[in-house]
Protein backbone atom coordinates (compact mmCIF):
# COMPACT_ATOMS: atom_id res chain seq x y z
CA UNK A 1 0.00 0.00 0.00
CA UNK A 2 1.16 3.50 -0.72
CA UNK A 3 1.54 5.58 2.41
CA UNK A 4 2.23 9.28 2.72
CA UNK A 5 3.85 10.72 5.84
CA UNK A 6 4.00 14.36 6.85
CA UNK A 7 6.07 14.50 10.01
CA UNK A 8 5.40 18.14 10.89
CA UNK A 9 1.88 18.69 12.26
CA UNK A 10 2.54 22.43 12.58
CA UNK A 11 5.06 24.88 11.17
CA UNK A 12 5.53 28.61 11.58
CA UNK A 13 7.25 31.14 9.33
CA UNK A 14 7.67 34.88 9.32
CA UNK A 15 6.39 36.92 6.45
CA UNK A 16 8.92 37.16 3.58
CA UNK A 17 10.90 34.21 4.92
CA UNK A 18 11.27 30.71 3.44
CA UNK A 19 9.81 27.54 4.89
CA UNK A 20 10.07 23.88 3.88
CA UNK A 21 7.36 21.31 4.53
CA UNK A 22 8.44 17.69 4.49
CA UNK A 23 6.74 14.68 2.96
CA UNK A 24 7.86 11.10 2.52
CA UNK A 25 6.01 8.29 0.81
CA UNK A 26 6.25 4.58 0.38
CA UNK A 27 5.65 2.84 -2.94
CA UNK A 28 6.92 -0.03 -5.05
CA UNK A 29 5.84 1.58 -8.31
CA UNK A 30 8.39 3.11 -10.65
CA UNK A 31 6.12 5.70 -12.23
CA UNK A 32 3.80 7.80 -10.14
CA UNK A 33 2.57 11.32 -9.48
CA UNK A 34 2.85 13.54 -6.44
CA UNK A 35 0.95 16.64 -5.43
CA UNK A 36 0.79 19.35 -2.82
CA UNK A 37 -2.64 20.75 -2.01
CA UNK A 38 -3.44 23.74 0.18
CA UNK A 39 -6.55 24.02 2.35
CA UNK A 40 -7.12 27.55 3.72
CA UNK A 41 -9.68 28.27 6.45
CA UNK A 42 -12.43 28.26 3.79
CA UNK A 43 -11.64 24.51 3.49
CA UNK A 44 -11.50 24.70 -0.29
CA UNK A 45 -8.76 22.38 -1.59
CA UNK A 46 -6.38 24.16 -3.95
CA UNK A 47 -3.64 22.55 -6.03
CA UNK A 48 -0.25 24.08 -5.26
CA UNK A 49 2.15 22.00 -7.33
CA UNK A 50 2.53 18.61 -8.99
CA UNK A 51 5.46 16.34 -9.91
CA UNK A 52 5.81 13.36 -12.21
CA UNK A 53 8.19 10.77 -10.79
CA UNK A 54 9.92 10.11 -14.12
CA UNK A 55 10.94 13.77 -14.37
CA UNK A 56 14.18 14.49 -12.55
CA UNK A 57 13.69 18.24 -12.69
CA UNK A 58 12.00 19.67 -9.64
CA UNK A 59 8.67 21.37 -10.29
CA UNK A 60 8.26 25.08 -9.57
CA UNK A 61 5.22 27.35 -9.51
CA UNK A 62 6.10 30.96 -8.74
CA UNK A 63 7.08 31.05 -5.04
CA UNK A 64 6.46 27.32 -4.59
CA UNK A 65 8.98 24.64 -5.47
CA UNK A 66 9.61 21.04 -4.57
CA UNK A 67 12.69 19.05 -3.70
CA UNK A 68 11.95 15.63 -5.17
CA UNK A 69 14.37 12.93 -4.08
CA UNK A 70 13.12 9.74 -5.75
CA UNK A 71 15.63 7.37 -4.18
CA UNK A 72 14.82 8.68 -0.72
CA UNK A 73 11.09 8.83 -1.53
CA UNK A 74 10.97 12.40 -0.35
CA UNK A 75 8.86 15.23 -1.75
CA UNK A 76 9.27 18.43 0.25
CA UNK A 77 7.59 21.76 -0.52
CA UNK A 78 9.49 25.02 -0.28
CA UNK A 79 7.60 28.29 0.03
CA UNK A 80 9.70 31.37 -0.63
CA UNK A 81 8.85 34.94 0.34
CA UNK A 82 6.01 33.71 2.54
CA UNK A 83 2.84 35.77 2.59
CA UNK A 84 0.00 35.97 5.09
CA UNK A 85 -2.25 34.33 2.52
CA UNK A 86 -0.07 31.21 2.58
CA UNK A 87 -1.40 30.32 6.03
CA UNK A 88 -3.29 27.05 5.56
CA UNK A 89 -3.18 23.30 5.93
CA UNK A 90 -0.87 21.73 3.37
CA UNK A 91 -1.40 18.16 2.24
CA UNK A 92 1.03 15.99 0.35
CA UNK A 93 -0.66 13.42 -1.89
CA UNK A 94 0.26 10.40 -3.99
CA UNK A 95 -1.87 9.44 -6.98
CA UNK A 96 -2.94 5.78 -6.95
CA UNK A 97 -3.18 4.74 -10.60
CA UNK A 98 -4.90 1.43 -9.83
CA UNK A 99 -7.57 3.16 -7.80
CA UNK A 100 -9.07 5.26 -10.51
CA UNK A 101 -6.37 7.89 -10.08
CA UNK A 102 -7.54 8.62 -6.54
CA UNK A 103 -5.26 10.65 -4.29
CA UNK A 104 -3.81 9.22 -1.09
CA UNK A 105 -3.17 12.08 1.35
CA UNK A 106 -0.85 12.62 4.25
CA UNK A 107 -2.25 13.98 7.50
CA UNK A 108 -1.27 17.52 6.71
CA UNK A 109 0.91 20.32 8.04
CA UNK A 110 -0.67 23.44 9.47
CA UNK A 111 1.34 26.49 8.39
CA UNK A 112 1.17 29.68 10.42
CA UNK A 113 2.54 32.88 8.88
CA UNK A 114 3.42 35.67 11.30
CA UNK A 115 3.86 39.35 10.38
CA UNK B 1 -18.47 28.41 -14.69
CA UNK B 2 -17.23 24.84 -14.52
CA UNK B 3 -16.80 23.21 -11.17
CA UNK B 4 -18.05 20.88 -8.49
CA UNK B 5 -21.02 21.68 -6.32
CA UNK B 6 -21.67 19.98 -3.02
CA UNK B 7 -24.87 20.46 -1.08
CA UNK B 8 -25.83 21.17 1.53
CA UNK B 9 -22.94 22.97 3.19
CA UNK B 10 -24.11 21.96 6.66
CA UNK B 11 -26.19 18.89 7.49
CA UNK B 12 -27.56 17.60 10.75
CA UNK B 13 -28.67 14.03 11.22
CA UNK B 14 -30.35 12.23 14.04
CA UNK B 15 -28.86 8.97 15.14
CA UNK B 16 -30.29 6.03 13.23
CA UNK B 17 -31.17 8.03 10.14
CA UNK B 18 -29.72 7.76 6.67
CA UNK B 19 -28.68 10.98 4.96
CA UNK B 20 -27.55 11.73 1.41
CA UNK B 21 -24.87 14.23 0.41
CA UNK B 22 -25.07 15.65 -3.08
CA UNK B 23 -22.14 16.12 -5.48
CA UNK B 24 -22.55 17.47 -9.02
CA UNK B 25 -19.84 18.38 -11.54
CA UNK B 26 -20.02 20.06 -14.94
CA UNK B 27 -16.36 19.51 -15.86
CA UNK B 28 -17.12 16.44 -18.00
CA UNK B 29 -14.78 14.41 -15.79
CA UNK B 30 -15.00 10.65 -15.86
CA UNK B 31 -13.73 9.99 -12.34
CA UNK B 32 -15.34 11.10 -9.09
CA UNK B 33 -14.35 10.55 -5.47
CA UNK B 34 -15.60 10.95 -1.94
CA UNK B 35 -13.26 11.74 0.93
CA UNK B 36 -13.81 12.10 4.63
CA UNK B 37 -11.77 14.60 6.64
CA UNK B 38 -11.35 14.41 10.41
CA UNK B 39 -9.04 16.62 12.51
CA UNK B 40 -5.50 15.28 12.38
CA UNK B 41 -6.41 12.53 9.90
CA UNK B 42 -6.00 14.16 6.54
CA UNK B 43 -8.40 13.04 3.81
CA UNK B 44 -9.42 9.41 3.61
CA UNK B 45 -10.98 7.81 0.53
CA UNK B 46 -14.51 6.46 0.96
CA UNK B 47 -15.58 5.53 -2.58
CA UNK B 48 -14.50 6.27 -6.12
CA UNK B 49 -16.04 5.89 -9.55
CA UNK B 50 -14.23 5.80 -12.87
CA UNK B 51 -17.26 5.55 -15.16
CA UNK B 52 -21.03 5.67 -15.00
CA UNK B 53 -22.69 2.70 -13.27
CA UNK B 54 -19.43 1.57 -11.74
CA UNK B 55 -17.84 2.41 -8.38
CA UNK B 56 -15.32 0.90 -6.00
CA UNK B 57 -14.75 0.95 -2.25
CA UNK B 58 -11.97 3.04 -0.84
CA UNK B 59 -10.26 2.69 2.52
CA UNK B 60 -13.24 3.48 4.79
CA UNK B 61 -16.37 2.41 2.86
CA UNK B 62 -18.16 0.71 5.76
CA UNK B 63 -21.40 2.48 6.60
CA UNK B 64 -21.50 4.41 3.32
CA UNK B 65 -23.09 3.81 -0.08
CA UNK B 66 -22.90 5.60 -3.43
CA UNK B 67 -24.46 5.55 -6.88
CA UNK B 68 -23.27 6.79 -10.28
CA UNK B 69 -26.27 6.85 -12.57
CA UNK B 70 -25.14 9.98 -14.40
CA UNK B 71 -21.67 11.19 -15.29
CA UNK B 72 -22.31 14.49 -13.54
CA UNK B 73 -23.57 13.14 -10.24
CA UNK B 74 -22.07 11.02 -7.46
CA UNK B 75 -24.23 11.15 -4.31
CA UNK B 76 -23.01 9.69 -1.03
CA UNK B 77 -25.40 8.13 1.48
CA UNK B 78 -24.29 7.94 5.08
CA UNK B 79 -26.23 5.06 6.58
CA UNK B 80 -27.14 4.31 10.17
CA UNK B 81 -24.43 1.64 10.10
CA UNK B 82 -21.76 4.33 10.12
CA UNK B 83 -20.87 4.53 13.81
CA UNK B 84 -19.12 7.89 13.80
CA UNK B 85 -20.44 9.93 10.88
CA UNK B 86 -19.70 13.42 12.20
CA UNK B 87 -17.03 14.76 9.83
CA UNK B 88 -16.30 17.02 6.89
CA UNK B 89 -16.97 15.36 3.53
CA UNK B 90 -15.28 16.36 0.30
CA UNK B 91 -16.20 15.34 -3.22
CA UNK B 92 -13.68 15.53 -6.06
CA UNK B 93 -13.43 14.78 -9.75
CA UNK B 94 -10.67 14.39 -12.32
CA UNK B 95 -10.23 13.30 -15.94
CA UNK B 96 -9.48 9.63 -16.28
CA UNK B 97 -9.59 8.11 -19.71
CA UNK B 98 -6.67 8.80 -22.01
CA UNK B 99 -5.00 11.31 -19.74
CA UNK B 100 -1.83 11.33 -17.74
CA UNK B 101 -1.60 11.10 -14.01
CA UNK B 102 -0.76 14.76 -13.48
CA UNK B 103 -4.28 15.97 -14.15
CA UNK B 104 -5.55 18.09 -11.32
CA UNK B 105 -8.30 16.78 -9.10
CA UNK B 106 -10.95 19.44 -8.47
CA UNK B 107 -12.75 19.57 -5.15
CA UNK B 108 -16.13 20.78 -4.01
CA UNK B 109 -16.47 23.08 -1.02
CA UNK B 110 -17.47 20.27 1.28
CA UNK B 111 -20.36 19.26 3.52
CA UNK B 112 -20.09 19.36 7.28
CA UNK B 113 -22.22 16.53 8.71
CA UNK B 114 -23.12 16.54 12.39
CA UNK B 115 -25.02 13.83 14.23
CA UNK B 116 -27.34 15.24 16.87
When CB atoms are compared, the residue of A45, A99, A104 closest to B90 is: A45
Contact: B42, A105; criterion CB under 8 Å: yes
User: How far apart are alpha carbons B84 and B75 in whole angstroms?
Assistant: 19
Cα separations in angstroms, A52 against A7, A33, A47, B74:
22, 5, 15, 28
Per-residue pLDDT tens for A3-40? Answer: 999 999 999 999 999 999 999 999 888 778 999 999 99
Per-residue pLDDT tens for A31-77? Answer: 789 999 999 999 999 999 999 888 889 999 999 999 999 999 999 99
Q: What share of chain B is helix, strand, coil (3-state, %, to 5)?
A: 0, 50, 50
Q: Which of A8, A45, A57 to mutate to test the interface with B (most CBs of B within 10 A)?
A: A45
CA of A52, closest CA in chain B: separation in Å? 7
SS3 B101: coil
Q: Which secondary structure element, helix H or strand E, spans residue B106, and what is its range?
A: strand B106-107
pLDDT tens-digit profile, chain B (116 residues):
679 999 999 999 998 899 999 999 999 999 999 999 998 889 999 999 999 999 999 999 999 999 999 999 999 999 998 989 999 999 999 987 555 677 889 999 999 999 98
Amino acid sequence: AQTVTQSQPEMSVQEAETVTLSCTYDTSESDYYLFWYKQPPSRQMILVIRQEAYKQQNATENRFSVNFQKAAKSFSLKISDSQLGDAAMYFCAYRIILRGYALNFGKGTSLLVTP
Amino acid sequence: DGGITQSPKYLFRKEGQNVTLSCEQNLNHDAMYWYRQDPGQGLRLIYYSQIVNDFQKGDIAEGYSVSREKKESFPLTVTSAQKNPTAFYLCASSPFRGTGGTEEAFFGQGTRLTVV
